[in-house]
Amino acid sequence: MDERVFLAEVGDPVPPWDAKHRLPISGAVGPEIADSGTIFRVNSTYMDVSDQPHLIRQWHVGRTMVGCLLGLLCSVVVFIFFAYPPPRIGALGAVAIGGSLLCAFYAFELAIRFGGEEFFWLRRRPIRFNREAGKIYAIRHRRYRNSAVAGDICWEIPWDENSIFCVHKSPLKFEGGERFHIRCYQLGPKGNVARAFAIGRTWQGGDGMRDLLAQWNYWCAYMNSGPKDLPKPMLYLPERETVTESFLCCMYELGFYLKLGPSTRTILSPFVLLLASYRLMSMWTCRDPVWPPEVLAVSEITPWDIHTQPSYDTPIGWAETERARVEGRYPLAPRCSNPDWSGEADPIVNAKRWIGTGDRKGSSRNS
């Protein structure tokens, strides 16, 4: 689910399942620490990660294109009817015209809902974990006027217990099963949701929950202890996508959620090309985000920071990283154990418990 679809929850209490599956900022939710492909850049001061819709924006562009096409077709039907009215309409004709009008309105509404932030917007909406400030900064919307000076619209979230981070669950309509993502809720004076956003990407099923918990441990370990002992990310996401990167992003995204093998991916290459064209259309009409001056002021890094990545010899993106893995220059599945964890040692069993109850009592050595 795109995080922009759950705006209806603003003004309501935090959903019960989410509240029961709250993530502690101590980062003690599982035995592993690992990244799942969410990081743009990292240094000793801050880490830039993706928001949840970034990896799947091609699907939203596709829905937008289908919505526009359906709306145009229905509009043409209505136009032809009024331009060349038949001598008699009849009940069936009236129903057809009314249905065409409703379909046109719904199709255009669908296109605006899913495509309003995909064209002439932002290529990415990074979320910055800033260790020095002890805050998260999340670019949310494009500023059309004076953005070069004021930057884009950015939310500021303190890294403390007053900010609510949760696992959110939604059903898979066609494949069956469940998918999850990490949400941050900020509450208003009455304790209801004032605003919310989703961090990282979407994870699916029990294996996905395992990776989600390892990802949360990764971000928390960075904020609490710095980047020194962290494993390398799965890859560094490119801040400027090429045609090849957009194609590979769509290819691997299908592999993540549909568990496709190499032969199936090859068969689906024409469909992946279509998805990549949607993603490229979105990227080419958008611009890079601009951080506000107050965020840049607390995000300065020193030239001698040895943890600044990606550096000149670090692979960036799907193609370079896969090539580096084949050549032995980059690890296949970077992962390490969580020293603050004393609960269930099996990450799969721990993930199943989280899906069932979210119980984490006695899981932290520091608790």
Rg of the chain (C-alpha set): 23
- The tokens describing 271, both together, are 């469909």
Which of 178, 229, 202 is CA-nearest to residue 53?
202
The domain spans of the chain are 3-51+124-240+288-300+308-356, 62-115
Amino acid 227 reads P
Segments of the chain scoring below 50 in pLDDT: 1, 361-362, 364-367
Report CA-CA distances (Å) from 209 to 23, 32, 191, 195. Answer: 13, 12, 28, 24
- Give the ranges where the chain is alpha helix by DSSP (H): 16-20, 57-83, 90-115, 147-150, 205-225, 243-258, 262-267, 269-285, 293-297, 317-326, 347-356
CA pair distance 245, 227, nearest whole angstrom: 26
Residue in this structure with the two tokens 């880490």, named with its chain if needed? 47
pLDDT score at 359: 55
Residue 319 · residue 235 · CB < 8 Å? no
pLDDT score at 45: 98
pLDDT score at 257: 61
pLDDT score at 271: 92
pTM recorded for the entire structure: 0.89
Residue 231 · residue 34 · CB < 8 Å? yes
pLDDT score at 27: 81
Residue 250 · residue 275 · CB < 8 Å? yes
pLDDT in tens, 194-248: 899 999 999 998 899 999 999 999 999 999 999 999 999 999 999 999 999 999 9
In order, the DSSP letters of 34-77 are ---S-EEEE-SSEEEE-BGGGGGHHHHHHHHHHHHHHHHHHHHH
Sheet of 178-187, strands arranged across:
164-171, 178-187, 193-204
pLDDT score at 367: 39
